[in-house]
Amino acid sequence: MRDAPIGIFDSGFGGLTVARAVLDQLPHEPVLYLGDSARQPYGPKPIGEVREYALECLDHLVGRGVKVLVIACNSASAAVLRDARERYEVPVVEVILPATRRAVAASRNGHVGVICTEATAVSQAYEDAFAAAPQITLHTQPCPLFVEFVERGITSGPELLTVAFEYLAPLVDQSIDTLVLGCTHYPLLTGVLSYVLGDDVTLVSSADETAKDVYRLLVRHRMQRPAATSPPVHRFLTTGQPKEFRALGQRFFGPELDRVDQFSWVGV
């Protein structure tokens, strides 16, 4: 079991920021990544549809013998977390609760913002997660165009700045001092987010916080792969086009993402 890979699932590319953070903290662990890029984006889809697609992909990862499941997608986490923890025997880590804990600890004035997709906003998953912290007033702002900008390779420039000022204005008006990046695409936008919000607002990356949870889980349950073993072999699967996934995926993960295999979700 120690040599089994960490299974990471996302609707497409954004979860690669989580995979990158996991490998930075756990460099000896192999990763099996599955991006459902043929059916992305999940954000605008109904929760029921997101649930169906996500469980198909998670079933496949579990069938491949992963030792931990990471749902590296806020929309999917909101839709299937409870089902996944009842459905699978392996531990399941998601992206919402780790970021929530960090935001609660970081906030000084009790006003926390969350930027996310429409599906995550409608699910009220963050409202549920912050319910255990009554001292926090939560301000949720859907930012659907941010995903499109990132996947077009646009992480700066006047067009993005205009959209960012429009999206973030309600959060500025509420004097938030902490912002949760409630979509795994958003860490690529930290420059523009910090510019619009100012240095006094703490940005909480769900990718980084999720990786910390994976680390704690492996250490706690003594599931870490020994450092003295052979170098880990990572595999990246996509339901879309491997060439496209590799080209864009390197923006999220880095040049180490040198091979992507085609995976058909039909019949999973």
- With a CB cutoff of 8 Å and minimum separation 6, the contacts of 255 are none
* Catalytic residue selected from 57, 116, 143, 183: 183
Look at residue 264 and tell me whether its pLDDT is greater than 50.
Answer: yes
Q: Is the pTM value of this prediction over 0.95?
A: no
Confidence band for 267, pLDDT divided at 50, 70 and 90: very low
Mean pLDDT calculated for residue range 245-260: 89
Q: For the chain, which domains are there?
A: 6-94+208-262 (3.40.50.1860), 96-206 (3.40.50.1860)
> Quick one: pLDDT at residue 265?
56
Is 57 annotated as catalytic? no
Compare 108 and 230 and report the one with higher pLDDT.
108
- Which residues are paired to 68 by β-bridges? 6
What digits encode the pLDDT tens for the residues 148-165? Answer: 898 888 999 999 999 999
* Catalytic residue selected from 57, 73, 116, 143: 73
> Quick one: pLDDT at residue 145?
94
Give one word for 48, left, alpha or beta, with left for phi > 0 and alpha for psi -120 to 50: alpha
Look at residue 187 and tell me whether its pLDDT is greater than 60.
Answer: yes
Contact 67, 42 (CB under 8 A): no
- Which residues are paired to 182 by β-bridges? 116
Long-range contact pairs involving 153-158 (C-beta distance under 8 Å, separation at least 24)? 153/248, 153/251, 155/188, 155/189, 155/191, 155/192, 156/191, 156/192
Look at residue 224 and tell me whether its pLDDT is greater than 50.
Answer: yes
What digits encode the pLDDT tens for the residues 4-43? Answer: 999 999 988 889 999 999 999 999 999 999 999 998 888 7
Label each residue of 40-69 as H, E or C: CCCCCCCHHHHHHHHHHHHHHHHHCCCCEE
Is 73 annotated as catalytic? yes
Cα separation of 168 and 9, whole Å? Answer: 28
Cα separation of 214 and 220, whole Å? Answer: 10
Q: What three-state secondary structure class fits 8? A: strand
Cα separation of 72 and 32, whole Å? Answer: 12
